Structure 1
Amino acid sequence: MSLSARQEGPDRLYVITAGRSGGADETLDAVTLIVAESEPTPGMQSEHAHILRLCVSPLSVVEVAAHLGLPLTVVRILLTDLVDTGRVTARHPAPAPSPASPLTSPDVLEKVLVALHDL
């Protein structure tokens, strides 16, 4: 928990999440990238607005939590709100290609090598 969250205590975290301790999108893991799809609007919860300003460029969930100084569980709840309303998009990192991937097949690698050699 960040210094500011420790100083504010659990009451502030309760208010930020409207009393919710669960219900966060389970697919939002620490490395999921968050991208804002809209700008903050007047009257929006300040934490939601802050997230939208932060995520103009993609940021991971854990980076958003660090910038806000809030626990990851609280940030996941806030992000779920924004995903549900279409204000942010969650992008999961692409998995590393497997050894059997067509992109790493010997034929493809040989063609790339020949093309580089021809340059």
Structure 2
Amino acid sequence: MSPRLEDENPDRLYMVTGGRSNVADDGFDLVTLIVSEGDPTPGMQSEHARILRLCQGPTAVVEVAAELRMPVSVVRILLCDLLDMGRITARNPRPAPAEARLPDPDFLKQVLVGLEKL
């Protein structure tokens, strides 16, 4: 059975991140999609290698954290390392255009009139 996240040894997390507790604005949010740009190399930190194998296809940051059973804050630090090394690409989902988010007011009025006629 895999250890639960809350059972994670804080000293291990400290070692994994090299003592870093956060990164400057990294642009990684929970739904940022990560894609590996190559295979792990010998001598690579095991967590970095796991991320590269996991992200063969687009994978959200939150999914990476869940799979590694690590806090998102730690995973973001590891992703920054990989991004700086050119080993991953990251892209945020594009928001829908503003006009696609809100229905047309005239259409809503027509629906309301139609409902009143029922």
1:22 corresponds to 2:16: no
Q: Secondary structure at the match of 2:81?
A: helix
Residues 1:44 and 1:4: Cα distance change in structure 2 (over 3 Å): farther
Counterpart of 1:46 in structure 2 is: 46
Structure 1 distance, partners of 2:20, 2:61, is 18
Structure 1 distance, partners of 2:18, 2:51, is 17
Counterpart of 1:75 in structure 2 is: 75
TM-score, normalised to structure 2, is 0.78
List aligned pairs for 1:1-119, cutoff 5 A. Answer: 3-23=3-23, 25-99=25-99
Structure 1 distance, partners of 2:62, 2:94, is 17
Structure 1 distance, partners of 2:23, 2:94, is 25
Moved over 4 A (4+): none
> CA shift at 1:60, angstroms?
0.5
Which structure's CA Rg is the greater one? 2
Q: Secondary structure at the match of 1:67?
A: helix
**Match of 2:55, as an amino acid?**
C
**Match of 1:29, as an amino acid?**
D
Structure 1 distance, partners of 2:24, 2:52, is 18
> CA shift at 1:9, angstroms?
1.7
Q: Is the 8 A contact 2:30 2:60 kept in 1?
A: yes
Structure 2 distance, partners of 1:18, 1:91, is 25
Structure 1 distance, partners of 2:25, 2:46, is 21
Structure 2 distance, partners of 1:5, 1:87, is 26
Give CA deviations for 1:63-118 in whole Å, capped at 9, x if unaligned: 00000000000000000000011000001101112217xxxxxxxxxxxxxxxxxx
Unaligned runs of 5+ in 2: 101-118
Unaligned runs of 5+ in 1: 101-119
